[in-house]
A and B are shown apart, each in its own frame.
Chain A
Amino acid sequence: MTKQDVLKLKVGDMVLINGQIVTGRDKLHKYLFNKKPHREQVPFNLEGTVLYHCGPIIKKTPKGYKLVAGGPTTSMRVEIYEQRIISEYGLRGVMGKGGMGMQTLKALKENGCVYLHTIGGAAAYLAERVKRVAGVWKLEEFGMTEAMWILEVKDFPAIVTMDAHGRSLHEEIEKKSFAAFSGLVGSD
């Protein structure tokens, strides 16, 4: 994805992702954030790609790795790392579930990146949209769940819930639910 592509996306848009994306969750974020490997030290070019918060179930077959189940994990756990990872590695998309905080929202705007919310728990459905496991990094060190997997996806569905223009659906829903919550709790 280019910055131009990203700027066209708005909160609420449904997108279908095609091409290569990479997975990364708690350990990978911690590693990239603290060890700060240079771009060339990462075996895959992360520039312009989508980093998918996912700890998949992968099976080793005679034909190579196969993704059995691969839905999103809760993105908020990597909120403290994501801002710098977006700018350092030139990501254009961050995908997961549950949304992220103000730090990431700011980074999305500054760098031209979007947060994509895919369908939490729909691991079998999403696995069918992963056409090939193209590679893996840090498998030995981090294990299957936490490794960086390179996935070739076709028509992988997601909804833009935080855009590069500073809008967050999660912020809006939280504000609305706060009003309802205050009413319900204060009304005894």
Chain B
Amino acid sequence: MLKLQNAIVELYRKAATSLPEDVEKALRLACRKEEKGSNARAALSTILENIEIARTGERPICQDTGVPVFFVKAPAGLSHLKLRDVIIKATRIATREIPLRPNAVDILTEKNSGDNTGIGFPVIYIEETKYKKLTVDLILKGSGSENIGQLYKLPIAELKAERDLEGVRKCVLDTVYKAQGKGCPPYIIGIGIGATKDQVTRLAKEQLMRSLDDVNKQKVLAQLEKRLLNDINKLAIGPLGFGGKTTAIGVKIGINHRHPASYFVDVSVSCWADRRAGLEWKTVKSEK
């Protein structure tokens, strides 16, 4: 498990210091679209320069290295408890070595644990997979954007939002309108729809792990993702809220079945620094 622990430290380093290619590409495109001489364009070109400095210098892109959220798929027979233990140890090492900002604060004492571990911190979701390989996906979820996410229970009279996909669309626009520039746009929006609150918040966050180029397998959702991206950009909040053409660079929707009486929609927002990274581990059996 020591090798896996080191690999997870490196996963942290990759996530914290280098942005996924698809996100960088989208930001580059957004920069070219903004008017020359505008503050929006200046902001995006600084952001692109920052991405470069962080990558080459192996320094965190953003000082808020966020809440680490792990989505782990483990093959049968691999102990989930041991996996948690490895992740927690790797978290301590990564915090010290990269370094990450210690972000785990005790609710009762207000003390920062100093190593990014604590009760339920980092967030770790593990499920069993039928495949032989172990996959570990990590997102460093910055709190500026986490704070602007919203949970909705349809219907909502003020938005004239009914229990259908049109209602979902209104919820998402409401979230972004209310967020304005507070969570570092251009945003990436993850949406989860389903039966219970806990389920949709996780589902929404999981959508942020999808590549921006990934097209939803459900045609109707793929269309809605496209429409929403277009609608959000019409709000013209722009990069960092300075006004401009790009308020979001991606919208991703995930669905679960719902209860006849419930229709929950969670909108999870990522800042432009959608710091996700993943690893695949094929040699699980030989690991002790």
Q: Do A and B come from one complex?
A: yes
CB within 8 Å of B: which residues of A?
A: 12, 14, 54-57, 59, 68-71, 73-74, 76, 97-99, 117, 119-128, 143-145, 157, 159, 161, 169-170, 173-174, 176-178, 180-181, 184-186, 188
Distance in angstroms from A130 CB to nearest chain B CB is 11
CA distance A89 to B213 in the complex (A): 50
Residue B236 at the chain A interface, CB threshold 8 Å? yes
- Residues 158-178 of B, flagged 1 when their CB comes within 8 A of A and 0 if not, give 011000001000100110010
- Residues 210-239 of B, flagged 1 when their CB comes within 8 A of A and 0 if not, give 000000000000000000000100111110
| Beta-carbon contact of A124 and B59 below 8 Å | yes
Residue B272 at the chain A interface, CB threshold 8 Å? yes
* Contact of A121 (CB < 8 Å), options: B42, B47, B234: B47
* Contact of B63 (CB < 8 Å), options: A71, A128, A173, A177: A71
| Beta-carbon contact of B112 and A145 below 8 Å | yes
Tell me the count of chain B residues lying within 8 A, CB to CB, of chain A: 53
Interface-located stretch among B48-56, B79-87, B249-257: B48-56
Residue B144 at the chain A interface, CB threshold 8 Å? yes
Closest 6 A-B residue pairs measured CB to CB? Answer: A98-B182, A125-B50, A69-B63, A120-B184, A122-B50, A124-B54
| Beta-carbon contact of B99 and A97 below 8 Å | no
| Beta-carbon contact of A121 and B184 below 8 Å | yes
Give 27 CB contacts A-B under 8 Å.
A55-B63, A56-B63, A59-B99, A69-B60, A70-B63, A73-B144, A74-B183, A119-B43, A119-B47, A122-B49, A123-B50, A123-B59, A124-B60, A127-B59, A128-B53, A143-B102, A143-B112, A143-B114, A144-B112, A145-B112, A173-B180, A173-B238, A178-B177, A180-B236, A184-B234, A185-B174, A188-B160
CA distance A56 to B62 in the complex (A): 9
CA distance A169 to B180 in the complex (A): 12
| Beta-carbon contact of A177 and B102 below 8 Å | no
Residue B120 at the chain A interface, CB threshold 8 Å? no
Distance in angstroms from A81 CB to nearest chain B CB is 17
B100-158 residues at the A interface, CB under 8 angstroms: 100-103, 111-112, 114, 142, 144, 147
Chain B contacts for A188, CB-based, 8 A:
160, 166
* Contact of B100 (CB < 8 Å), options: A57, A126, A159, A176: A57
| Beta-carbon contact of A121 and B177 below 8 Å | no
Distance in angstroms from A162 CB to nearest chain B CB is 12
| Beta-carbon contact of B99 and A57 below 8 Å | yes
| Beta-carbon contact of A121 and B181 below 8 Å | no
Chain A contacts for B142, CB-based, 8 A:
121
CA distance A184 to B243 in the complex (A): 18
| Beta-carbon contact of A97 and B63 below 8 Å | no
**Contacts known (A97-B144, A98-B181, A143-B112); A124 close to B235, Cβ less than 8 A:** no
Which of chain B's residues has its CB closest to A183's CB?
B234
CA distance A70 to B64 in the complex (A): 9
Chain B contacts for A176, CB-based, 8 A:
236, 243
CA distance A74 to B143 in the complex (A): 9
Which of chain B's residues has its CB closest to A186's CB?
B160
CA distance A152 to B131 in the complex (A): 54
CA distance A117 to B236 in the complex (A): 18
CA distance A27 to B46 in the complex (A): 29
Chain A contacts for B144, CB-based, 8 A:
73-74, 97-98, 120
Which of chain B's residues has its CB closest to A128's CB?
B53
CA distance A75 to B227 in the complex (A): 31
| Beta-carbon contact of B181 and A97 below 8 Å | yes
